[in-house]
Structure 1
Amino acid sequence: MIIMMMARLKNFPSPLFLVLILLITGSKLSEGARIFTIVNYCKETIWPAVTPGESFNGGGFALKPGQSLIFTAPVGWAGRIWGRTGCNFDRNGNGSCQTGSCGSTLKCAASGKPPASLAEFTLASPDFYDVSLVDGFNLPLVVTPLNGRGNCSIAGCDADLRPRCPPELSVKGGKGGRNVACRSACDVFNTDEYCCRGVFGNSATCQPTYYSKRFKEACPAAYSYAYDDPTSIFTCSGTDYVVSFCSSRRRPVCTYHHNRLICGRAMGLRATGRMWWAMILTIIITSGLWNIY
């Protein structure tokens, strides 16, 4: 089931507008499904991609700055979400992207071409999720679980690694030759040590390198190399997810579940029941929510 709504707001991110529409219409979501709100806080249009994408508008769509889409995925779904940049698609959905391309189509049926920041999910009991930079970096990416049970930590990388990318890993292509992505050391040097293969293909021998340490220092809640499990993979039960591009890990986020608005921020703060009416009114008054265009 897909809730295909788009909103673009002044001075406020669009997910709240979406959940308010859902609140007014009284839409109900299926029991046991996970609600995904995918939102673009970047200053440029991006083209999120999802594989497998049957529950996500076929696996690809465009989001302008401030826009979002809400989807539901069934328990048992396991897949990846990432962002594509610099894309140009025709009316038939054919084209190409500067980073994160999954081929020549808007709807992705295959994984993205590195380098790309990846959000990875296995929906079960509990869910497992992470943000991985093992295949490189192209956009800040944060995963925030809401209304779940368990650890439910915020995963991701809200730092922009492109300006600070080591020259040997840089992918240039922007205006003035700016960096548009940062490759992984494995992708660049293709050695067993950097790729965690051969004699380095286990957690005892595959250790952090100079490059993975730089990624980890900037993004401590994201995978920096293949065996970076203890600080990078998280679990949560019965949760919804907000997948945010170019967002801070401390930014408050909202989702709509079982006719309730659920809002939170870092460390799992959440508001449900009667509290959310006060929260909505406060946000509307302070944020100028009525300035919709």
Structure 2
Amino acid sequence: MDNSLWSGTLILLFLSFGTLVYGNHPFTVINRCSQTIWVGTFGDDDIPAGGSFKLDPNQRQSFTAIRGWTSGRVWGKTGCDSNGRNCKTGEAPRGGRTTLQAVTLAEFGLDKWQGMDFYDISLVDGFNLPISIKPTGTKGDSNCRVQACNFNFGVCPNNFKEYGPNGQIVACKSACTATREDQYCCPSSRVPESQCRPSQYSEIFKRQCPDAYTWAYDYKDSDRNCRGNPVSGYEITFCG
């Protein structure tokens, strides 16, 4: 066989094998809430499922995220119109990340340091829906496990509460979202980690959800990591 033809065959076999073994990461999102939610997605290099999709109570939907997904985010939006817009919580520019809103975030960085996936639940912006993240098809140590967060709106400071049209509390802002002050936001470009500490307000969230990110440098208690076996996936459940 011609050497160039043989080399081409090997490349095709390698690519085919890589596609089978190292395919995209499967995600499943489940809505256990009593209300319809719209799920937002975002990533610096991939926006899965078109950036948003609707889930009625007890519905689920699956999508895939690319290998090496960076700054991956999944969150729930509530009180939206029939097109998934004008939401009471979790609204974002079409195809964009949430910004300065009280919303519970599931965050992912896939296939990063030594091929590990990193994931966390973030309350740095606030809380709007209970959430859990369950790794699937993974292997790793005790740090590769289910992460979950629920929150009692009764402990939310009154000036941090967000209300729906019927007067019910729909979200609790973080101190950063509510005030935009550096002492609570700790922007990394201006405030080094040594000068950024948790606040009395972030501690409210920490007591409710000990495993969650509650301030800018809360990674020591909050990061989880897994390795695919052979390809990792994640199940995200709202209100479950």
TM over 0.5: yes
Cα displacement string for residues 177-208 of structure 1 (whole angstroms, at most 9, x for unaligned residues): 12111111012222221111489822222111
Any runs of at least 4 consecutive aligned residues in structure 1 with deviations exceeding 4 A, and if so which? none
- In the alignment, structure 2 segments of 5+ residues that lack a partner are 1-18
* Matching of residue 40 in structure 1 with residue 31 in structure 2: yes
What's the offset of the Cα at 1:84?
Answer: 0.3
How many angstroms does 1:164 deviate by?
Answer: 2.9
The answer to whether the Cα contact below 8 Å between 1:202 and 1:227 also exists between their aligned partners in 2 is no
Deviations 1:239-280 (A, max 9, x none): 210011112xxxxxxxxxxxxxxxxxxxxxxxxxxxxxxxxx
- Alignment correspondent of 1:146: 136
Secondary structure of the equivalent of 1:212?
A: helix
Among residues 137, 152, 177, which one is paired with 1:187 in the alignment?
Answer: 177
Q: Which has the higher Rg, Structure 1 or Structure 2?
A: 2
Identity of aligned residues (%): 40
Distance in 2, matches of 1:179 and 1:208, equals 25
Counterparts of 1:219 and 1:180 in 2: how far apart (Å)? 18
1:136 pairs with 104, 123, 126, which one? Answer: 126
Change in Cα spacing, 1:74 to 1:31, as seen in structure 2 (3 Å) is farther
**Map 1:209-224 → 2, pairs under 5 A:** 209-224=199-214
Please give the TM-score of this superposition, normalised by the length of structure 1: 0.67
Q: Which of 96, 107, 115 is the equivalent residue of 1:110?
A: 96
Structure whose residues are more often strand by fraction: 2
- Amino acid across the alignment from 1:167: N
Question: Kindly tell me: are residues 136 and 126 of structure 1, through their superposed partners in 2, closer, same or farther at Cα, counting changes over 3 Å?
Answer: same
RMSD, aligned CA: 2.1
1:96 aligned counterpart, secondary structure: coil
Q: Gaps (5+ residues) in structure 1?
A: 1-28, 248-293
Distance 1:74 1:54, change over 3 A: closer
Instruction: Give the aligned partner of residue 69 of structure 1.
Output: 61
The corresponding residue for 1:256 is none
In terms of fraction of residues, the more helix-rich structure is 2
- Please point out which of 140, 151, 163 is paired with 1:172: 163
Please tell me whether the aligned partners of residues 51 and 59 of structure 1 are also in contact (alpha carbons under 8 angstroms): yes
**Number of residue-to-residue matches in the alignment:** 210
